[in-house]
Amino acid sequence: MYKFLIRPFLFLKNPESAHYFTFGTVRKLFKIPGVSAIASSLFNFKNPELEVECFGLKFPNPVGLAAGFDKDAKLFNELSAFGFGFIEIGTLTPKAQDGNPRPRLFRLPDDMSLINRMGFNNEGVEGAITRLKVKKTKVLIGGNIGKNKVTPNELAVDDYVYCYNALQPYVDYFVVNVSSPNTPNLRELQDKEPLTALLNTLQNRKKEIKAEQPILLKIAPDLTNSQLDDIIDIVKETGIDGLIATNTTISRDGLKTPGQTVSQIGAGGLSGASVRERSTEVISYLHKNSGGAFPIIGVGGILTAEDAIAKLEAGASLVQVYTGFIYEGPAMVKKINKGILRWKKAQQKA
């Protein structure tokens, strides 16, 4: 139904308009008594063998929703009915910001991909907190944090600490986002010296307030092997809890979409099936060269159970979806979890 009726209708709209239309529709529907229960019965798939213990947390299943879909924590209660094992909100910044000018979100249907240059548009961390305070669901929530566009890199640590402190009582884990390609110079914070300083500051704050929430780092797929080696060293040196691999890519290699169309779209991060292979390569490299020293959440190009399993086989402990959810629809999470369960059972028999 989604692919043949709902998706074609949504794809008639501007991608960002379609996103907000979907948001509004879901919120209205879930206000009708019984809709949440019906959605849960349709889209949830529970099995004890899907449970994953990671970062000191117990996940009911390994499939989460990546940051960017519910930036301002407006829909996580409703989204939990679609079977996610965890939901990541954000990226949130200390102050509200509009992000980059529109249009800033583009579909590449021939590639089952998106290009976005949103630019951390969000209502600010305090706005999200007002909604997190009245959380109605038990779903695990991650807080993805970043810096405001106007904050220079040399002061970026203050923005991350501000968001960390503010979200502390309301999220189950933190994600430090220094890998979006859509905030000028942000990726420079992935360099060894500034990144080590940033993560050490957050780790010290965590110890100071005796916080338990794990801190993860989200990295780009465009890093070289040498840079990935640095990331491994940084994770070990700072003692953070793990990585999310990967964010969107600035590469345009191997696209089916005509080059002229891609050029007209311009700058932005590419997500979806087009980044699947590179994301899995990064996960595999990190896992092998770290000796499995820390957990990894795999994200990038997951549309099927096979895509998710490839990332788990490469070394990921958990996975996240976003672009695939837009292309495949709400039944996607259940299908992936069923596929992962079959894979796990096959492994046990082998």
Structure tokens at 40: 């849960």
Choosing from 180, 271, 284, 290, the catalytic residue is 180
> Taken in order 124, 126, 127, 128, is the CA torsion positive or negative?
positive
Residue 159 near residue 146, CB atoms below 8 Å: yes
Which residue type, as a one-letter code, is found at position 112? M
Residue 116 near residue 106, CB atoms below 8 Å: yes
Report the distance separating Cα 302 and Cα 333, nearest Å.
10
| Beta strands 140-145 and 86-92, pairing class | parallel
- Nearest residue to 175 (alpha-carbon basis) of 131, 141, 217: 217
Structure tokens at 128: 């999200």
Active site residue 279: no
Q: Where are the alpha helices (DSSP H) in the chain?
A: 7-10, 15-29, 35-43, 76-79, 125-132, 156-167, 192-208, 225-238, 259-265, 276-290, 305-314, 323-328, 332-349
Instruction: Give me the count of residues in the chain.
Output: 350
Residue 217 near residue 282, CB atoms below 8 Å: no
Catalytic residue numbers?
180
